[in-house]
Chain A
Amino acid sequence: MKLKSFLISYFLLLVILIVLTPSAKASDYEIGVEEGDTFIWNCNVCDNDKLDEILGKEWNDDGFFEDVEKGARMKWKISDTDDDEKIYSSETKENETVYSIEFGKWIWTTNDEWGDEDKDEESYLFKDPDDFSEDFIFPELAPIWLPIPMGEYLKNIDLYEGYTIDARVIDSITCEIDRADIDDKYPKENIKIVAMYNEQGVLKSYKLYIGDHNVILDISLESFITINFLFLSILTAIIYFGILYFIYRIMKS
């Protein structure tokens, strides 16, 4: 290959690509869930006594944690989504546009059978991150769902300073609440929440810690095993064992 012609073609290609590269527009958010989607969460750890003591006895009276207990499951079935609904905001005293989802809810239960849904609920988040109040703390300390891309959306909300958003690998939120910062009676001591989200912006894992990462509440999203997933898992296992064998051979030789 002639070096000169290679270099000339390369730089021409480079210049053309730079000139033709469109300026990407600022990203918009969207609701990641769709009508008909079902989500089931499992409660792996729930120290009710400690949670009552720290968050007050009403912490699991309603909302996402309603009647949660260790070993229980909870289900949502999305019935509708809307990215242009108007809701009156007590903060701005005006109607503001929100992302909303409606869902049938089966509250936390240890029964094997789901039966009929317990209630219909609606959950919403302001479309414009500026509509949230200052130093905002989510009702469940970490949201159950978010528009995607969630990292950018959250970064634009004026969140309480204890929030850390990490969307590098897995979308996640860490919230450290310092008792001294809070005017309310609860929480009674410093707590830390680590929440992770799936690609739809739905809560995948929720852990509430006290002290040196002692878990007192651990909730995780149930994941369904598809044939593709099973195939990939088997393939992964084979590759892993192959590599382990390879390393074993290196060590042995």
Chain B
Amino acid sequence: MSFKTKLSQIKLRFLELWEYKVFQWAVIIHLGYFIVSLVCVLTILRHQNDFLIYFNAGGVFYNDINDLYNQDNYIWDFRYLPLSAMFFVPFYLLGFDLGFIIFHILNLILNILICVLLFKIIKFIRKEDHEQDDKRIIIYISLYLVAAPQMFNYILGQINLYITFFMLVALYVFLKYEELKWHLFGSIILGLSIVLKPTALLLIPFLLVINYDLNHRKLIFDFPKSFIRIIGVIFPISLNIIIFLLYPKLWDGFIETNFTGGNPLTLNFSFSITKIILNFCYMYNIPFNQIYILMIVLGIFGFLGYIFFLFGKYHERDSIIYGFTFGLVITLLVYYDSWNHHLLNLTPLLIILIFILPRNSEVTNKYIKKGFFFFSFFDLAFMGLWFLTVLWFPYNFASTIFLILVFYGLSKHSLSTEDKDSFNKYIKKVRGE
């Protein structure tokens, strides 16, 4: 198919979508976010944005890599793996203004690609009791486009959309293809997202194709697929080890910045459980060790999440969607800094879950949908409220509650048998039988 034909197909499809009022408004509002944030970053927020950190990291990587974790180079700490800085070198070479404009346009393109992937994945996995036209999918994708974290993500010049995009590409590949080579490819893509920003790090254990069938007391473990996935995801991450070995000073800087430095101690509106506990300890002068708190919270949610995943009563191919969602929810509940814009990684997965669960599922209505709407439209308001109450109540707890509700909903569904029959239909559809 020629490029021209493909282009005219895209144009036609876009015109079809443009017929939907909700899509029209979503595009207009989203482009509004795009343009307002672009102007803000180039003017009033020029010295106060996350892109500046990536930009400087690119510069330090280019000029003197040993200095990468010297935080004097940044307005806020640079915390990511060393290879991620390499990605920002081209933006650094373009200069701040042009670099940001290109970066910003790339973010917009990524959002379009995320919507396309979401559409494709949903069409692929949608349960049969859902409406068979596209209207409901378009509504949810439009809601994703107008969600408040989009504006926050743009205005900070953040890289969450890369993570979401890579995660969805990996998910699409895992769902669509059976061959091991594709699973290797998908996991390498996921590994790249972790190199760029370690948000998806806790998704790694969920790549294992493992399940314990409680009814038949049988452990199912697809070793070749699991092995290939783990090798694939570890490979890009392990390239950082070479950098750490070549520049040993970087390792100390990376560990100190992420786990033992001062940043985890300062008050902020992160909605992770770990941070809420740390804020509590800070307020009431309770002695604490931040690493122990992190490990305890991770131990509790990580263990529970994995147990529910392991005993989950879903088909092998669906399990990766639940695994990714469990992994991300656990990350957001556990890591010190869980911000509003990180929710852009989670909301696409919640949309997929809405379509994979039965149309009138109790889990969808009670937990997933409510979580999706809260994260998309209300979380930002609570961030504002936090500033009013910080003196005596520095806890941004509302999103935490909704994350726990999503976690509970996932766990409940994992152990329930409500839609077991529809898995068989899905398998048939996927295999084209």
Contact = CB atoms under 8 A, between A and B. Distances in A.
Contact of A174 (B265, B268, B391): B265
B287 A17 contact: no
B405 A250 contact: yes
B15 interface: yes
B265 A168 contact: no
B77 interface: yes
Contact of B266 (A1, A18, A194): A194
Given A164-B71, A170-B267, 9 more contacts: A21-B42, A21-B43, A158-B72, A165-B71, A169-B267, A192-B262, A212-B289, A213-B281, A213-B288
Interface residues of A, number: 54
13 contacts: A1-B24, A17-B38, A24-B43, A158-B72, A165-B71, A166-B77, A166-B266, A168-B268, A174-B261, A175-B262, A194-B262, A212-B287, A213-B287
Interface string B388-429: 111100000010010001000000000000000000000000
Interface of A: 1, 3, 6, 10, 13-14, 17-18, 21-24, 26-27, 44-45, 149, 151-152, 155, 158-159, 164-170, 172-176, 192, 194, 196, 207, 211-215, 218, 223, 232-233, 236, 239-240, 243, 247, 250, 253
Contacts, number: 111
Contacts of A155: 72, 74-75
Contacts of A149: 47
B190 to A, nearest CB: 28
A174 B260 CA distance: 12
Contacts of A14: 35, 38
B377 interface: no
A215 B267 CA distance: 16
A17 to B, nearest CB: 6
Which range holds the interface residue count of chain B? 35 or more
B269 interface: yes
A240 B385 contact: yes
What are the 3 closest A-B residue pairs judged by CB atoms, nearest first? A174-B262, A164-B262, A169-B268
Q: Which residue, of A166, A212, A214, has the highest number of chain B Cβ atoms within 10 A?
A: A166
Interface of B: 14-15, 18, 24, 28, 31, 35, 38-39, 42-44, 46-47, 71-72, 74-77, 97, 101, 261-263, 265-269, 281-282, 285, 287-289, 366, 370, 382, 385, 388-391, 398, 401, 405
B75 A152 contact: yes
A233 B76 CA distance: 30
A155 B281 CA distance: 28
A23 B97 contact: yes
A50 B97 CA distance: 52
A250 B370 contact: yes
B98 to A, nearest CB: 10
Nearest to A209: B287
A13 B389 contact: no
Contacts of B267: 169-170, 172, 196
A227 B28 CA distance: 40
A1 B366 CA distance: 37
B265 A211 contact: no
A232 B39 CA distance: 31
B385 A236 contact: yes
A212 B285 CA distance: 11
Contact of A194 (B38, B42, B265, B268): B265
Contacts of A207: 282, 285
Contacts of A165: 71
Given A155-B75, A233-B388, A236-B388, A170 B268 contact: yes
A218 B46 CA distance: 35
Contact of A151 (B75, B285, B287): B75
A176 B268 CA distance: 20
Contacts of A215: 285, 287
Nearest to A247: B401
